Amino acid sequence: MKKWLLLLSFFTSLLICGEAETIINRLEENLRGKDLYAKMEIIVKTKRHTRAMLIESWGKGKKKNFTKILAPSRDQGITFLNLDKQMWQYVPKIERIIKIPASMMLQSWMGTDITNDDMVKQSSLADDYHVSILRKDGPIVTLELIPKRGAAVVWGKIISKVDTRTYTQIKDIFYDDEEVEVRAIEYEGVKQYGSHYVTTRMSIIPYEASKKGNSTTIRIRDIRFDQGISESYFSKNALIRYSR
């Protein structure tokens, strides 16, 4: 009898594990499609200032992403290229392409609460983390993501609440290596775009005492999936070419 119980629990855990990975894969598939174009407004709130930015982004697969700043005018034309976890930046004012070194990956991206590291690793959750189901409340599933051994990630753990009806996130909480909550991302306003569901508003709230009161809100203005984005966006030449 004991043997059967052990076997049963083993297969159940295998099934749950498989289910968790399926959820993460479907979530990433829903978010990314074959390729993706998006126009987004980013509002950064700090103690002294509130700033707004408008950006355009082109993505293909897990490893290719191109971003261009449209506004404010001071930053217009700055472009970013993420290729296989590496990041380059072109700044028209100084007319130079710069590779962001590893030592700067944890620095803020354009003064937001997003780091350079977030930008390059935005779609690699399934590759870098072991996923398991913590809780299930009907269609709402809470996932726990623990970094895989040797994965070059900055988080100690991520707890992610997912709506499996639309395969969109509701809330992510990020923990450091000592299991201290570092930040949360809240998602709202699910809309359907063709066969994809997208949360059109995303708020990043840092928990560190020194960043109390700060937040970064991203609003999707336009999003298009599977448009057949040209490969020309994903080369270093694109940084200058598409900057104008």
Give the residues lining the site for another protein (CB under 8 A).
44, 46-49, 51, 69, 72, 74-75, 78, 89, 91, 93-94, 96, 98-101, 103-104, 107-108, 110-112, 208-211, 214
CB 46 within 8 Å of CB 216: no
Cβ at position 162, least distance to another protein in Å: 31
Q: Looking at beta carbons only, is 5 or 94 nearer to another protein?
A: 94
Handedness of CA 220, 74, 101, 83 (dihedral sign): positive
Which residues partner with 116 through β-bridges?
none
Coil, strand or helix at 72: coil
Cβ at position 82, least distance to another protein in Å: 16
Cβ at position 43, least distance to another protein in Å: 12
Cβ at position 211, least distance to another protein in Å: 7
Coil, strand or helix at 145: strand
Q: Looking at beta carbons only, is 81 or 125 nearer to another protein?
A: 81
Cβ at position 161, least distance to another protein in Å: 29
Q: Which residue has the tokens 């935005």?
A: 122
Sorted by sequence, the CB contacts under 8 Å of residue 216 that are 6+ apart come out as 42, 43, 44, 45, 112, 113, 114, 203, 204
**Backbone angles phi and psi of 223, in degrees to 5:** -150, 135
Q: Looking at beta carbons only, is 69 or 170 nearer to another protein?
A: 69
Give the integer Cα–Cα distance in Å for 147 and 153: 7
Q: Looking at beta carbons only, is 73 or 192 nearer to another protein?
A: 73
Q: Looking at beta carbons only, is 111 or 156 nearer to another protein?
A: 111
Give the integer Cα–Cα distance in Å for 221 and 201: 10
Q: Looking at beta carbons only, is 75 or 118 nearer to another protein?
A: 75
Q: Looking at beta carbons only, is 86 or 232 nearer to another protein?
A: 86
Cβ at position 200, least distance to another protein in Å: 24
Give the integer Cα–Cα distance in Å for 233 and 159: 33
Cβ at position 52, least distance to another protein in Å: 11
Note if the bond before 147 is cis, omega within 30 degrees.
no
Tokens, residue 13: 């855990």
Sequence letter at residue 101: P
